[in-house]
Every structure is written in structure tokens, then in C-alpha cells.
Structure 1
Amino acid sequence: MNADVTSTLTSLAKPHINDSFAIHFAPLSLTDIYAQADDPSNGAVVVMSGTVRNQTDGKAVICLEYQAYEPMALQVFYQIAADIRQKWSDVNRIVIYHRIGRLQIGEISVLVAVGCPHRAEAFAACQYAIDRLKHQAPIWKKEHWQDGSSTWVSIGACEQSGEDC
């Protein structure tokens, strides 16, 4: 990204007091993320959990490794939340956490949770968040294949190619 885009992202969004965002080495907890998205005025909390699967396009995967440019990734998360709050003004809480480091099959790589008074808005906002994260966040994954080879991929490149990475 060029300096103009970076400064624009930095100046656009600040985290809302009820929201939570993080890039973590440690395993992510569904229970913790749900609790952060919960609020007495919610009628729904929608959680999207992305996990490491054992294959991509029929090729056996043994593990994934994630890296992120954390300061910019967090700014992207903040901007996603700001956009959600403009589109769905009833949203109470937004939580976006992504893992970095080496993850084994079945481990959670990303959690997105949205708390809202109504389920339709919660579902729509949660889907919007994960879709934007996949397109915009400076996060890369390295797929380690069973044959011993590996490949780095921007998670945004997966979405642009039509793959669900």
C-alpha cells in the first residue's frame, strides 16, 4: 500500500468503545469472543469462526502459518466496524480477532462476532465484516502441503480468485 492509502486508513477510523479487535498468537476462544459481543439489548449474536481445514482444492494441507502487518490490519478492522455502524445503526458490539503464527488442522484462525437487537442485521453485518476482512486486511497465510511444499498467499488473493481460503 502506498503512503496516501496508509495515512487515509489511519485517520479514518477509531475503535468504538464497545468493540474489540486483535491480532493474536494465542489460540482464540469462541466463549470469550461471544462474551465480548454480548449485550443485554441484543436479540442476536452472530459468530463466524474460520478454521484450518485439511485440504485446499483437493490437495492435502498439514498446517497453515499466518502473518499480518498488525498496525494496518487493526486499522482495517476499525474501518470495517465503522462501515458496519453506518450501514446497520442498531449494532451494539463488533468483535474481530485473527490469529497469526503456525496453526494446526481444526484450529480457529479468525473469529468475527456481531451483537445486535435483530438477527437479520447481525447476520448481514457479520458476513460484511468477514468479507471485507478477506479483501482488505494485510494478512497472509502460508499453506504447508503434505508433499513438503508450501505457498504464501494473501487472504485477499483467495477471495479475488473465487476461492474460499
Structure 2
Amino acid sequence: MVMIWLVVIGLIANYLADFITRWFLDTAASTITLEPPTKVLAKKWRDLTAGNEGGVYLGYLERLLYFGAFWEKEPLIVTAWLAFKLASKWNVWTNVIAVPEIVKRTDPLDYLIARRRWGSHLLVTFLVGTLSNLILAYIGVIAMRYVVSLVN
């Protein structure tokens, strides 16, 4: 019965940890403005650079995976997931969301600045989200081991 409560507490903590991750992500993302390269492209640029579809759900699952791996002392699970995540992101960034090198009637430097900012934004949110999930899961394992030691 005690183990069931520990699992429930762990799931609730995982849910609450999302607020911390979200704060880190929002803080990091707010440091990079995603200005459109031209006024004409403003709406399309906002549509292109907005959104993080599925990121919240991935964060929950990722923290659970990290928590389980740390709990069972299986670093290979974390390594495998990070390698898979890196390969997936690499594929998406190079093939799916690749933007043209040049946009007609757009100053090349303004466009380069906009692309660089968007790239920085994607990279920062990817790294901050992943790292905060790793840290929160590890802290969760430390806290849960302490609780288990008190119960036993």
C-alpha cells in the first residue's frame, strides 16, 4: 500500500515539475526576440516560428523515463534516449523546418538575423527543456529515496 502512495506522489511531482520546466523555458525563450525579417512576412514568420506542438506531453514522458532510469541506476536508458532525441531533432531541423537561403525582396542580413534568432530560440528551448527534465528527475529520485528511507 505504501508503494502505491509513493507512485502516486511521484506522478503528482512529475506533473508539478512541469511548471518549473515551463518557467525555465519561458525565461530562456523570452531572452530571444523572434522579429520577422520584413513587415510583409510578419504573419507568415509568426506562424512559422510559433508553437511547440506536443512539447508538454513529451516533457511529462521524458521526466518519467529519466526518473525510472535514475531510480534503477540505468544510465544507458538516458544515453539511448538522448541519442534518439538528438538524431530526431537533427532530422527535423535539417529536413522538415529548413527555411530557404534567400527570400525575394528581403534584405539578406535582416533575413539572416531572423534565421539566427529562430535557430537560437529552437536550440535554447531544446537544451533548457532537456536539461531541466534531467535535473528535476534526478532531484525527484533523491527526494523519493529519502522518503522511502523514512518509511522503511
Q: TM-score, normalised by structure 2?
A: 0.31
With CA pairs under 8 Å and 6+ residues apart, which has the higher RCO, 1 or 2?
2
Which structure dedicates a bigger proportion of its chain to helix? 2
Greater Rg by CA: 2
